[in-house]
Amino acid sequence: MLQIQHLTKTYGDKKAVDDLNLHIAPGEIYGFIGHNGAGKTTTLKAVVGILQFDEGEIFIDGVSVREQPLVCKKKIAYIPDNPDLYEFMTGIQYLNFVADIFGVSADDRQERIRHYGDLFKLTADLAQPIAAYSHGMKQKLAIIAAWLHQPQLIIMDEPFVGLDPTASHLLKGMMREVCDQGGAIFFSTHVLEVAEKLCDKVAIIKQGQLIRAGTMDEVKGDDSLEDVFLELEGESC
């Protein structure tokens, strides 16, 4: 589903991402773990085609992000850590705008907007301007927008920040549902307990370099993910 091969991104003389290799297969929820500044967001932005990279290749379902970015973008959805929504629009206008971009039919969008709006208890607020939304409401709207065109691969940067416990639980279920239907999820998080319970595989990145990756059992063994993370962070200092 997603192949990252020898990805390198440099800012000045600093390598934000250094020769990164990862493979996310269909059906996998893949967690991406690291401290702030480790290279997580840079990697995710390169994957979704909004950040040019210096070396390497990224393939989504066998298609090169560098050579065919529009084809790739139709297959994916991206939720950044701080969704930058069009605040002059109402919630429903924004969702219809996104649905238009991806060519979602009138019947399908109506059904999905109603379903996810009711799920997140946002339906009653969709007529309100986004400028009046709280951070949590904006996050929920971004999630609904991401799911509208039924993407094969969903990329999320710290998706649980700002969500209440109920919304977090709903999102986890939606993520698993995508993977059960043959899709894949690649998301960054600093909440290690969430990653440990939710992810099929995890990758730990430090100063732009991958320091461990694999299934949860391969990465943590009999220890907690937190213990392994702190130990690896200490080793590579």
Q: What is the CATH number of the domain that holds 211?
A: 3.40.50.300
Say which residue, 17 or 231, is predicted with more confidence: 17
Average pLDDT over residues 45-58: 94
Its domain, for residue 224, covers 2-82+152-235
Average pLDDT over residues 209-215: 90
Domain annotation covers residue 39: yes
Domain annotation covers residue 89: no
The answer on pLDDT for 222 being more than 80 is: no
Mean per-residue pLDDT over the chain, rounded? 92
Give residue 235's pLDDT band: very low, low, confident or very high (50, 70, 90).
Answer: low
Domain annotation covers residue 189: yes
pLDDT digits (tens, 9 = 90+) for 86-103: 999 999 999 999 999 999
Specify the pLDDT at position 54. 94
Domain annotation covers residue 210: yes
Domain annotation covers residue 53: yes
Length of the chain, in residues:
237
Number of domains in the chain: 1
Domain annotation covers residue 100: no
Domain annotation covers residue 105: no
Specify the pLDDT at position 193. 84
pLDDT digits (tens, 9 = 90+) for 179-207: 999 999 999 988 788 888 899 999 999 88
Average pLDDT over residues 142-152: 96
pLDDT digits (tens, 9 = 90+) for 156-166: 999 998 889 99
Specify the pLDDT at position 7. 96
Specify the pLDDT at position 55. 95
Specify the pLDDT at position 84. 84
Specify the pLDDT at position 49. 92
Domain annotation covers residue 18: yes
